Amino acid sequence: MFVISFQKNRLLGGFGDRIVGLISVKLISKLLNKDFYILWDKENIKEYFDYDKYDYDKISNEIPKMIKSGNDIKLNNCIDEQKSFKKYLMNTNNIEEFFPHTINYFEVNMEISQYLYKNKLFENRNFLNDIFEEYSKLYTDIFKPTNYLMNKINSLTLNKNNIVGIQIRCGDCYMITNRNERHKTNNHENVGEKLVNIRKICNEKYGNDYYVFFTTDNIGLLNYVIRTFNKSQIIYNTDIIQHLDRKSVISDISKIFVDSYILSQKTDLLFISFNSNFGRIAGLSCNHNNIYNFVDNSKINKKDLLSKEEMLF
């Protein structure tokens, strides 16, 4: 059994980081013919998503019966260390030797499944086809929005066509939840000019018949969007900006999931911050290929979104 684990009192990354790890572990479990489950109790997300099909809580009562000794359970940690399991996945030559414990918990926020596809045992499998298939099912099979979440999504997007998604990741320090941190990107530099360039692209493609869905971790950038686009075109979720891996400001953390879903499932054109996994998973799970780098409007190949670090395919 494989269990992707997001438990309390563990630093596991934001939503995008966690999805990268989840998809990677799910894909490995599929190749190794292991049952896959999601243990997510760091936050309560069941108000927002139905993942009953993979819910570890549904089978947790059976776990004691499955464990005969301490050797039957193993935590495999690969947080911010992509190459931790590289040699193991690439070089193990007997399928029965992979993760032999009865219950294998994983803490992963990196793309590690690629290494298994470099193993001779799986050289006949197509990594890109397989992982794109898993990402395509993110919001249709793995995490299905509840009525509560879908109502919030529909309140923003219902009867709106030609939605252009713009996602700008500025850095943790811009969020209320992360005020004492220094992490920042340079994506906010010349943001007005960048938005004007996006407006030109949108006008050429759609005329005036489009909407702009905007999401960011820096609320100050909203003013630039309002100055650039017609106010009636702008879709913005006004809930408080929060970071999933920090203490919540309010109990309702749905903005994270509403914004991700809209970027992924409701847009026809997408401009993302290339250095942000939040934007990357939206690009990987959306049903189109109109994905561009917010900084310079260059077209992004979905393959280039799979890993921030090493990529062998």
The whole-number pLDDT of residue 57 equals: 96
Q: Would the pLDDT of 192 be above 90?
A: yes
- Average per-residue pLDDT for the chain: 94
- Mean pLDDT computed over 233-257: 93
Percent of the chain with pLDDT strictly greater than 90:
86
The whole-number pLDDT of residue 183 equals: 72
Q: Would the pLDDT of 187 be above 90?
A: no
**Which parts of the chain are beta strand (E)?**
2-6, 36-40, 49-50, 73-78, 103-108, 144-145, 163-168, 211-216, 234-236, 269-272, 291-293
Which stretch of 45-54, 61-70, 159-168 has the lowest confidence by average pLDDT?
61-70
- Mean pLDDT computed over 238-260: 93
In 207-294, alpha helices (H): 222-228, 254-261, 277-285
Q: Would the pLDDT of 229 be above 90?
A: yes
Q: Would the pLDDT of 306 be above 80?
A: yes
The whole-number pLDDT of residue 233 equals: 97
Q: Would the pLDDT of 89 be above 90?
A: yes
pLDDT in tens, 109-160: 999 999 999 999 999 999 999 999 999 999 999 999 999 999 999 999 999 9
The whole-number pLDDT of residue 228 equals: 98
Is 147-305 a domain of CATH 3.90.180.10? no
Q: Would the pLDDT of 64 be above 90?
A: no
Stated as kind and residue range, the H or E segment containing 66 is helix 63-66
Q: 107: which 2 tokens?
A: 């803490």
Quick one: pLDDT band at residue 281, thresholds 50, 70, 90? Answer: very high
The amino acid present at 137, given as its one-letter code, is K
Which stretch of 158-167, 168-177, 206-215, 287-296 has the lowest confidence by average pLDDT?
168-177
Cα distance between residue 88 and residue 94, in whole Å: 11
Q: Would the pLDDT of 70 be above 70?
A: no
The whole-number pLDDT of residue 178 equals: 74
Quick one: pLDDT band at residue 247, thresholds 50, 70, 90? Answer: confident
Which of 38, 56, 24 shows the shortest CA–CA distance to 309?
A: 24
Where do the domains of the chain lie?
2-145, 147-305
